[in-house]
């Protein structure tokens, strides 16, 4: 592979001052290795803010997570804050997860903010992402930063930037911050020299405020009291969940929650899993094993920054199986709405939110309770944005996305695995009193609304060549959209990049009232929804498919489930 002159030029800048000697030596080693692919991937572009902020592999280079890319992002954010709040005392909160270098990166971020004259609230120990969102609101900060790469492999780290509402950066702030970052053309423009007097270390006082606020969200405390010894198995998968989930469960009244010992210790190498992602059965395997051993009522695990949660429950045959993100989200929505209705606490202004690639079963549930629901673009930051925009004009009850992120109540503006975990436990307690498991409750939803089944295929395409390939795949789908998928005719094509829906039978085109995003959706005459979307945080293109069919009886579930599996396979093989 021939080295692009632009890459060579960008790398050459890192071989001299003001870059530090350690960085210069690492870049020189990369140049000397003749690894043109590695050098290209490290320098062919700058890291960009996606749906999750700044995220990448740790190492030297403009496309890597390191002192200079993080320093540049923080200086850019600082400059934007100083321009936005002239003459004001600016306060920012900074937290970090269990990943390698997260603590050091968080200190670096705090140092740069402090050097810019800002008051910095730095957590003195690792803490979950939702607590950072809570802290921004609780401490009345103008911004916040969380150092995390969520559930990515151990080589990654990331930088989530938050605005004064506790939500991640959204338009126009995200693009304007990037512009401020790009305006920094030399490391000498980054204020690396800290002002320690501007940094306040946060202790457990914020934890306690958050846990007290969570306690007020419980919907069926009597069920929890009666089922206080519910058998719960929890794994933080070597992440931040260990700091708050056990405390939250205990505070809610659960006295029999066990933590998976082998995964309790925070560790950025994630030694017991391949990927620290509760979406993966492999990552949940130790929790499942422990749950089977004690015959747990519910099993759940959180990802390293504790904003996502995976769940396992007993099926009708007594065996444990993992629920997917759409199923967990549907159960939570139904549980919250049913409890609110039972308490005569459903208001005309109540609403729920999901993303466009999340199951429409949630929409069916909302309609059944006559509660408004909204769709947003993929990424929980858009759910948070909608909550902030609506403000006092509505009451957010619950929301979620298929990628295992949910929120109950409006304490934060991001997905929250701590709140989700206690609600999942409360939900399990409530259904146990009625002789049901979470799996049984899910079948009840299918009987009422139809059996939904979803599948996700993620294709990893790394580096510049991978990015080019993903762009070509999306361009091909736009130029030649499929007329049928898996033998089922396509009725509509939704192009979120061009903000239009094309109704194929009539030729009519209607406007999509959402921000532009590189997403394509194909809706069949059966109501199946197939989505194609490049990931904003990983080198992947993702294909989502949701199919549905009426469920005539509980006994028919296995057969209907099998038929839906076959349909999913046919459709996905035709597009992915």
Residues with active-site annotation: 150
Three-state secondary structure readout of 167-208: EECCCCHHHHHHHHHHCCCCHHHCCCCCCHHHEEEECCHHHH
Using N-to-C axis directions, what is the helix angle for 36-43 and 463-479, rounded to 10°?
A: 70
Q: How many other C-beta atoms lie within 10 A of the C-beta of residue 570?
A: 15
Listing DSSP states for 389-456 in one string gives HHGGGSEEEEEEETTTEEEESSS-BS--HHHHHHHHHHHHHHHHHTT--HHHHHHHHHHHH-EEEEEE
- Asked whether the CA dihedral 136, 140, 143, 145 is positive or negative, the reply is negative
How many angstroms separate the CA atoms of 374 and 412, rounded? 18
The residue among 131, 111, 280, 273 whose CA lies nearest residue 199 is 111
Q: Are 124 and 202 within 8 A, CB to CB?
A: yes
Q: Are 291 and 320 within 8 A, CB to CB?
A: yes
SS3 554: helix
The residue among 227, 283, 272 whose CA lies nearest residue 252 is 227
Task: Sheet with 309-314: list strands edge to edge.
Answer: 257-259, 232-235, 298-302, 309-314, 320-323
Q: Are 518 and 546 within 8 A, CB to CB?
A: no
How many angstroms separate the CA atoms of 92 and 65, rounded? 21
Q: Are 30 and 63 within 8 A, CB to CB?
A: no
The CB-side HSE value for 570 (13 A sphere, CA atoms) comes to: 14
How many angstroms separate the CA atoms of 422 and 224, rounded? 10
Pairing of strands 350-355, 91-96: unpaired
Listing DSSP states for 286-329 in one string gives HHHHHHHHHT-SEEEEE-TTSS-EEEEEE-TTS-EEEE-HHHHH
How many angstroms separate the CA atoms of 339 and 398, rounded? 12
């Amino acid at each position: 592979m021939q080295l692009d002159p632009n890459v060579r030029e960008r790398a050459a800048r890192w071989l001299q001052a003001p870059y530090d000697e350690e960085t210069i030596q690492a870049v020189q080693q990369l140049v000397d290795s003749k690894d043109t692919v590695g050098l290209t991937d490290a320098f062919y572009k700058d890291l960009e803010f996606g749906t999750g902020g700044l995220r990448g592999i740790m190492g030297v280079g403009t496309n890597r997570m390191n002192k200079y890319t993080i320093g540049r992002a923080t200086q850019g954010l600082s400059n934007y804050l100083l321009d936005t709040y002239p003459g004001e005392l600016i306060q920012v909160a900074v937290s970090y997860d269990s990943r390698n270098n997260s603590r050091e990166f968080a200190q670096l971020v705090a140092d740069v903010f402090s050097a810019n004259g800002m008051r910095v609230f730095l957590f003195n120990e690792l803490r979950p992402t939702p607590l950072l969102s809570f802290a921004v609101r609780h401490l009345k900060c103008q911004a916040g930063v969380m150092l995390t790469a969520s559930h990515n492999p151990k080589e990654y780290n990331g930088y989530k930037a938050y605005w004064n509402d506790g939500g991640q950066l959204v338009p126009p702030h995200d693009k304007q911050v990037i512009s401020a970052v790009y305006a920094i053309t030399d490391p000498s423009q980054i204020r690396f020299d800290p002002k320690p007097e501007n940094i306040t270390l946060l202790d457990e006082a914020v934890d306690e405020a958050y846990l007290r606020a969570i306690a007020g969200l419980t919907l069926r405390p009597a069920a929890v009291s009666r089922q206080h010894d519910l058998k719960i198995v929890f794994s933080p998968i070597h992440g931040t969940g260990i700091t708050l989930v056990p405390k939250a469960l205990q505070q809610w009244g659960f006295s029999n929650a066990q933590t998976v010992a082998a995964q309790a210790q925070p560790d950025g190498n994630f030694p017991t899993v391949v990927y620290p992602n509760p979406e993966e059965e492999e990552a949940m395997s130790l929790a499942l094993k422990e749950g089977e051993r004690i015959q747990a009522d519910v099993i759940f695990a959180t990802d390293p920054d504790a904003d996502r949660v995976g769940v396992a429950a007993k099926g009708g045959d007594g065996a444990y199986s993992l629920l997917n993100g759409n199923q967990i989200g549907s159960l939570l929505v139904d549980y919250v709405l049913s409890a609110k209705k039972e308490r005569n606490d459903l208001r005309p202004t109540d609403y729920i939110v999901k993303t466009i690639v999340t199951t429409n079963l949630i929409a069916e549930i909302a309609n059944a309770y006559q509660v408004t629901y909204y769709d947003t673009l993929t990424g929980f930051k858009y759910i948070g944005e909608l909550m902030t925009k609506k403000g006092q004009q509505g009451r957010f009850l619950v929301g979620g996305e298929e990628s295992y992120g949910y929120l109950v109540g409006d304490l934060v503006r991001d997905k929250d695995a701590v709140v989700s975990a206690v609600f999942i436990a409360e939900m399990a307690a409530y259904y146990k009193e009625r002789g049901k498991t979470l799996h049984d409750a899910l079948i009840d939803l299918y009987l009422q609304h139809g059996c939904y089944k979803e599948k996700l295929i993620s294709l990893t395409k790394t580096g510049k060549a991978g990015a080019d390939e993903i762009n070509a795949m999306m361009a091909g789908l736009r130029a030649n959209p499929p007329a049928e998928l898996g033998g089922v005719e396509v009725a509509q094509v939704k192009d979120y990049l061009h903000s239009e829906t094309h109704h194929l039978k009539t030729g009519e085109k209607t406007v999509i009232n959402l921000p532009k995003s590189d997403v394509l959706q194909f809706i069949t005459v059966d109501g199946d929804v197939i989505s194609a979307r490049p990931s904003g945080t990983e080198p992947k293109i993702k294909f989502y498919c949701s199919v549905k069919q009426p469920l005539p009886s509980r006994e028919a579930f296995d057969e209907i489930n099998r038929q839906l599996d076959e349909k999913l396979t046919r459709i996905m093989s035709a597009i992915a």
